[in-house]
Amino acid sequence: MAELNLILLGPPGAGKGTQGERLTSKETLEYVVTGNILRAAVKEGTDLGVQAKAFMDAGDLVPDELVIGLILERVRSEEAAEGFVLDGFPRNVAQGEALGEALGELGRDISGVLLIDVPDEDIVRRLSGRRVSQSGRIYHLEHDPPKVPGKADDDGSDLIQRDDDKPETIRKRLAVYHEQTEPLVAFYEAQGLLHRFDGTAAPEEVEAQLRKTVSSLRLEGAI
């Protein structure tokens, strides 16, 4: 089977996590979520994890070279022998260039970049509709509302809107995405790697389109 190395792109709230999990659950691809592998490395006390923790404890961003090092560790694993889906990195063109060079040193290339595109207003509506109970259950005012407005189904406690889900916070996150991450779209499009998907469609439809593209990329890689 041809090796397949993919990057997931899209604004916050576009559904990358959902689609990444669905895609890798049925494909022999390792799902590499940079936030998860960073937390795991810190918890396990690996060499890179210890270095990353020092930056985090100081309130600094973890340097790109450390993050790429963590990604390469996972890419070298047996689980990623047939490929991977990378979510959460790169976040800007400089990181994209550095990642490409690092993978190239391993003799691996990016097979495709999957962009799940969703308009800002749809993102704001999706995320700002979320409410959380004291037990941690997440509701959505449109898609999964509580039986009694504003109250948790299990204990009747008041539902809250997390700060991250407030419209003003979401718009700030989107502004950062447009300024820093969106230039990656043109960067990968110029390399002929970009594939666009309508993230406003039903999750099942987005998944079907992603799988169709992945199948095509596998065929191309096998030729």
Residue 162 appears among annotated catalytic residues? yes
Which one from 39, 53, 125, 173 is the annotated catalytic residue? 173
Give the integer Cα–Cα distance in Å for 151 and 132. Answer: 10
Which one from 26, 76, 162, 212 is the annotated catalytic residue? 162
Which one from 74, 126, 130, 131 is the annotated catalytic residue? 130
Q: What is the DSSP letter of 63?
A: P
Q: Is the bond leading into 12 cis (omega within 30 degrees of zero)?
A: no
Residue 108 appears among annotated catalytic residues? no
Residue 16 appears among annotated catalytic residues? yes
Tell me which residue of 185, 213, 210 sits closest to 15, measured CA to CA.
Answer: 210
Give the integer Cα–Cα distance in Å for 45 and 141. Answer: 40
Q: What is the DSSP letter of 28?
A: S
Give the integer Cα–Cα distance in Å for 208 and 221. Answer: 20
Spell out the residues 6+ positions from residue 3 whose beta carbon is closer than 8 angstroms to its own: 81, 82, 83, 108, 111, 221
Active site residues per annotation: 16, 91, 130, 162, 173
